[in-house]
Structure 1
């Protein structure tokens, strides 16, 4: 079982959380001006990074707050957690 470190409640079991996808995806400035193709790309196209990846998580069974995390997609290890609006921690990825 995976343990996820909530920045508000501390480490908790993974069953308490919901995954929210890639973090730091900006909402379009003029959404009414996007074509169907551009909307599709905004909604469905995301990075598929091997290694460190910034993600959004929500603590459903705890504080019910959203937060961001940097997780290694190879080892599933959480390297850092931070609140929305905070800058992503500068983590350097080691060679594999």
Structure 2
């Protein structure tokens, strides 16, 4: 499998560290149910899923990779800093 880093170009997946599903973090003042869902509940779909990957042996960027979990086809790669995963700034 190959990933195309927005900064470095196409690279072998062994340059990257897989972190897991890319989840939208609740606001700091969100209720306990929202935090419980964020920390403990995960979906495991067979199909497109947004994931976090770290370009460990490259530029050190965190990436949001949309990958089809059934076929491993890479659908989209973007810098995680532009994905809004950390909640409102």
Q: TM-score, normalized by length of structure 2?
A: 0.76
Bigger RCO of structures 1 and 2 (CA < 8 A, at least 6 apart): 2
Residue 12 of structure 1 corresponds to 11
* Counterpart-to-counterpart distance in 2, 1:44 and 1:59: 26
Give, in whole Å, the separation in 2 of the partners of 1:49 and 1:86. 24
Structure 1 length-normalised TM: 0.71
User: Aligned pairs, how many?
Assistant: 84
1:31-60 CA distances to partner (integer Å, 9 max, x unpaired)? 7x748xx76643232111110111111100
Structure 2 equivalent of residue 67 of structure 1: 63
- 1:52 match: 48
Larger radius of gyration: 1
Structure 2 unaligned residues grouped into runs of 5+: 85-89
Give unpaired runs (5+ residues) of structure 1.
89-96
Q: Which residue pairs with 1:22 in the alignment? A: 21
Q: Distance in 1 between matches of 2:18 and 2:42?
A: 14
After TM superposition, the structure 1 stretch with the greater mean CA deviation from structure 2, 77-86 or 40-49, is 40-49
CA RMSD in angstroms comes to 2.4
CA 1:85–1:64 in structure 2 vs 1: closer, same or farther (change >3 Å)? closer
Cα distance in 1, alignment partners of residues 24 and 37 from structure 2: 11
Structure 2 distance, partners of 1:48, 1:27, is 20
